[in-house]
Chains A and B, each alone.
Chain A
Amino acid sequence: MKNPLYLILSAGIAFLLAACNPSSDDVEPEIKRDNTQEVKQYYADNPEFFSFKTLADLPEDLTWQDGSHLPDIGSDQALKGGTEYGRLQDFPRTLRTVGPDSNGSFRPWLLDYTSVSIGHRHPDNFEYYPGLADAWAVDKKRKTVYVKLDPDARWSDGEAVTTDDFFFMFFFFQSEYIVAPWYNNWYGTQYTNITRYDDHTFSISIPDAKPDMDSRVLGLNPVPQHFYKELGDDFVDRYQWRFVPTTGPYVVRDRDIKKGRSIALTRLEDWWAKDKKFFSNRYNMDRIHLSVIRDTPKVFEAFKRGDIDQFSLNLSEYWYEKLPDDDEDVQNGYIHKSVFYNQRPRPTYGLWINTSRSILDNRDVRVGIHHATNWKIVIDKFFRGDYQRMQTSSDGYGEFTHPDLNARPFDIEKAQEHFARAGFTQRNQDGILTNDQGQKLAFTLSTGYESLKDVLTILKEEAAKAGLEYRVEVAQGTASWKKVQEKNHDIHFAAFNVGLEMYPRFWETYHSDNAYDDAFLDDGSINPDRQLKTQTNNLEALAIPEMDKMIDRYRASEDKQEMIELAHKMTELHHEHASFVPGFKQTFYRLGHWRWIRYPDFFNHKHSSSATQLFVHWIDPEVREETIKAMKEGNSFEPRINVYDRFKTNP
């Protein structure tokens, strides 16, 4: 022990161990903190935003509504219980619902599809039904929405949901701790005030009385103040693997997190909303067990074995070939196939052209690219005509969608004409166009959708006919998205998932604020030193002063008719700018599910985005046993291939 060398060695080893110690994943940070005072101070420092009043101050002329006239959701035949087995493509990188890496495919299970906000859009009527609220009142004049919370509302850890959690929501999302600029911006600029009347009554004001101003407020999810007492600069690490208490029915217990392998959700026995009108027939499974299976073909095999209960058959390959109608399990009635036509805004599948790149900054080249991209052959031959061509980047918003603007069709002649105008006239020995300087008309076409990579190889072959070369790059989803967020792409194939909203958003994708830092000088000319802005959704680096003006007006407008006109004009300008090649849209979803997974007779609701989004399905244990027995004994049932086309629209 006295040996100095030994001491040095052990010190060295200790140092190494300390250096290797994972800072975030496994070790709970030790410093305990209590931010109650800090939060109070923040409220006090921002008196215009955070107001405190009494019930007596509540305006009397309010019209309260509670959505009780709306029809139920789901089926009253639904049975509670059972375990549903599902799949995750990637193990979640965090259990946080905001901050870096939180916007992954697991978040819907934690927040988007499972939590209860103040109110929700009814999936049939587009009107609001109550969630955490008992009643609410919209006051257009004061640009304010008043909310009375349901006194039953509880967090999953038993604490009551109160006005304080909504106050804290603003503190939380406006703070820098969460490392989420989008939230900072949204909660900082899209709301102007929150007023407390009592523990269960508050109001929230917004800058403009938009036609859908109720959605601004009713869609809000409170943030549990008691849980975030330790909020600080180390938020990202500290809360990495802590399950946030939820207002919804499902919780993640620590023992159900098997890192890298599986994660399970467990239903709360005494969930506060379990007997409420709009929730009683939903969230029926006791447990949802999600295993990580990366490859889609493997998921399908797992589904066929019965390890997974449901499988999306959206890809034609699966619907027609891998699980055809004459498949044995389908014919024996063990697996049901269902198609459901829905109505809602469509994800924006298409090619996002980075206009900050050289050559791609030339509009003629971009128009040429539009005409050289053969979506028709992809839709007809790859998707077997099941999908439709997307016409604009905002399809499916009713009146807000441009009525007669059509995407540019595949047309080799026109493509070449435009390429020629941009100086690309000569074909090289591979048939690719070049210009006088010897530059090739070749761009990287990247995507993170492994399952759709064939689409790109088809587009590549077709584009070559017009003298355009696409260099296909298929990367893993997260890596690919990172590259796009850093604006390192030429042309990227992706889609933004869109929520069920009244009108499309333009600011995120088309405002110059999201393209460059200081895109324009004060006199309106282009800032020569402007730098691309990363981590935004303006994937086209689109910066047009005219568009900015319209977006600002659109965001400020309170007149629905004006907004519709603006939306159409912006869509036209965007079309004119030709920086987005609209791809395809899917007007339905379809899936295969084992017989014991039951859906309501009408299958699902009009505006649902996927079969499981609203959790109206349930597991019938008797049917399960019956089916397994029948499979052993070789008995069969009536095959079921269901088409629900009540909401099908003509293209």
Chain B
Amino acid sequence: MLKFTPQTVKKLRRFREIKRGYYSFLILAGIMLLSLFGEVLINNRALMVSYEGKWYFPTYADFYSGRDFGLDYSYEVNYRELKEKFEQEASDNWVLLPPIPYSAYENHAPGGTFKPMPPSVEQKHYLGTDTTSRDILARLFYGTRIALFFSLAFMAAVYVIGIAVGCAMGYFGGTFDLLFQRLIEIWSNIPFLYMVIIVFSVIPSAFSVATRIGILLAVLVLFSWTSMTYFMRTETYKEKSRDYTASARIIGASNTRIIFRHILPNVLPTLVTFMPFTIVGAITAITALDFLGFGLPPPTPSLGELLKQGTANLRTAPWIVTAAFGTLVVLLTLVTFIGEAIRESFDPKRFTTYQ
């Protein structure tokens, strides 16, 4: 059973008192939770099909071909058309579609040509379509989901490596510290953007999209963990020279125990305050890379790719850039609010104000 120290409880309470950050946190958590079930909300696969007395749930299942529902084709059923067909036939069969019945990939051009279509409630393209008639809301939604989880994974990885290395440097000190500091200095001087570009130009595109996102994540992490070590190192140094650490060592506690039971818990508050800003950084990085064309492989939905389309069509399709830019602003603002609130609530000086 997880039990917080009274201090932590106090900090959490203070976090809740800072309304702006707290509500931002709730909203963001809500979005993330929602996005986990995105397939139920925004998808071209139906939630439920009742066909000749049998029920089908295509959302998370294997694909159903047209033949499964009495159509004359063997590729994936177009559930929107199926629904219309069932309604016209007035049979007992029915289809329950998600609220937004489009996937992030399909080209749906009601006008006959592939071009950006302004937002239309009637067509259920609530934010319009992009240059190849794909639903913007769907692309934004899935793009945001990827960006959010990408940045969470990024943060976790950076922290694990950063904390481990930084802690070890601070705790063991001496030659180990000296050596690693130099290594990190050299490493952090490698221009990260070039590395990403180089690495991305050699990854065979035969890899699946998930693998390629994984590689992108690995490259980003590889060049981002270093800054974390500086904070950890100094903090550990500080804590190591405290009396309680000395006492622990006299009692005979092992290095592992001292690091994990004594030093880490005392250092963590500092780290926690950095977290939201790391996430902001990761979201910005992946969006920027996509914008430059070195991020997620096409046609993966992404905020950066939408932004790029938007800027290319500023005059003719302003809704693309508005949607993408709006999403990015909201997302980053929420995370920043949370970050400020955390920093404030973890600040030992109660009455600091941030301007």
Contacts and interface: CB of A to CB of B under 8 A. Distances in A.
A427 interface: yes
Contacts of B312: 295-297
Interface string A463-503: 01111000111111001000000000010000000000000
Interface in B67-102: 73-76
Nearest to A297: B312
A471 B76 contact: no
Interface in B111-146: 112-116, 131-132
B105 interface: yes
A458 B63 contact: no
Nearest to A327: B315
Given A297-B312, A322-B315, A431-B65, A384 B74 contact: no
Contacts of B76: 431, 464-465
B173 interface: no
A473 B75 contact: no
B73 to A, nearest CB: 7
A557 interface: no
B174 interface: no
Contact of B63 (A322, A431, A456, A457): A431
A635 to B, nearest CB: 23
Nearest to B293: A474
B217 interface: no
A373 to B, nearest CB: 14
B107 interface: yes
Given A464-B76, A472-B299, A321 B132 contact: no
22 contacts: A296-B312, A381-B114, A382-B113, A382-B132, A412-B73, A416-B74, A427-B63, A427-B65, A428-B62, A430-B63, A431-B65, A446-B205, A454-B114, A457-B298, A458-B132, A461-B105, A464-B76, A465-B75, A466-B75, A471-B205, A472-B297, A490-B206
Nearest to B317: A321
Nearest to B131: A454
A305 B84 CA distance: 48
Contacts of B73: 412, 465
B181 interface: no
Interface residues of B, number: 33
Given A381-B109, A429-B62, A453-B298, A444 B206 contact: yes
A465 B132 CA distance: 18
B299 A457 contact: yes
Interface in B305-323: 311-316
Interface of A: 295-297, 316-317, 320-322, 380-382, 384, 412, 416, 427-431, 442, 444, 446, 450, 453-454, 456-458, 460-461, 464-467, 471-476, 479, 490
Given A382-B113, A412-B75, A429-B63, 12 more contacts: A317-B115, A384-B113, A416-B74, A427-B74, A430-B63, A444-B205, A454-B131, A458-B132, A464-B76, A467-B74, A474-B293, A479-B201
B313 A431 contact: no
Nearest to A384: B113
B113 A467 contact: no
B185 interface: no
Contacts of A431: 63, 65, 75-76
Interface of B: 61-63, 65, 73-76, 105-107, 109, 112-116, 131-132, 201, 204-206, 293, 297-299, 311-316
Contact of B75 (A317, A458, A464): A464
Contacts of A458: 107, 114, 132
Main SS of chain A's interface residues? helix
Given A431-B75, A446-B205, A473-B205, A321 B65 contact: no
Contacts, number: 88
Nearest to A453: B298
Interface centre among B63, B299, B311 (most CB of A within 10 A): B299
A475 to B, nearest CB: 7
Nearest to A451: B312
A464 B48 CA distance: 23
Nearest to B60: A429
A474 B298 contact: yes
B58 to A, nearest CB: 11
A567 B74 CA distance: 39
Given A431-B75, A454-B114, A472-B298, A461 B316 contact: no
A488 to B, nearest CB: 9
A117 to B, nearest CB: 38
A460 B63 contact: no
A446 B204 CA distance: 11
Given A297-B313, A427-B63, A454-B132, A461 B107 contact: yes
A626 B131 CA distance: 37
Contacts of B314: 297
A412 B316 contact: no
Nearest to A450: B293
A382 B63 contact: no
Please give me the 5 A-B residue pairs with the lowest Cβ-Cβ distance, nearest first. Answer: A465-B75, A297-B312, A473-B205, A429-B62, A431-B63
Contacts of B112: 380-381
B74 A321 contact: no
B39 to A, nearest CB: 13
Contacts of A444: 204-206
A461 B61 CA distance: 20
A321 B316 contact: yes
Contact of A467 (B75, B105, B206): B75
A109 to B, nearest CB: 26
A412 B115 CA distance: 25
A252 B215 CA distance: 45
Given A321-B115, A416-B74, A460 B131 contact: no
Contacts of B61: 429
A535 to B, nearest CB: 19
B298 to A, nearest CB: 5
B7 to A, nearest CB: 50
Nearest to A320: B115
A428 B131 CA distance: 30
Nearest to A476: B293
Contacts of B311: 297
A471 B65 contact: no
Nearest to B315: A322
B57 to A, nearest CB: 14
Contact of A381 (B74, B106, B113, B315): B113
Contacts of A467: 74-75
Contacts of B106: 461
Nearest to A322: B316
A637 to B, nearest CB: 22
A381 to B, nearest CB: 5
Contact of B299 (A295, A416, A427, A460): A460
A475 B298 contact: no
Contacts of A442: 206
B315 to A, nearest CB: 7
Given A429-B63, A466-B75, A473 B132 contact: no
A357 to B, nearest CB: 10
A380 to B, nearest CB: 8
A473 B113 contact: no
B61 to A, nearest CB: 8
Interface centre among A442, A446, A454, A456 (most CB of B within 10 A): A454
A233 B107 CA distance: 54
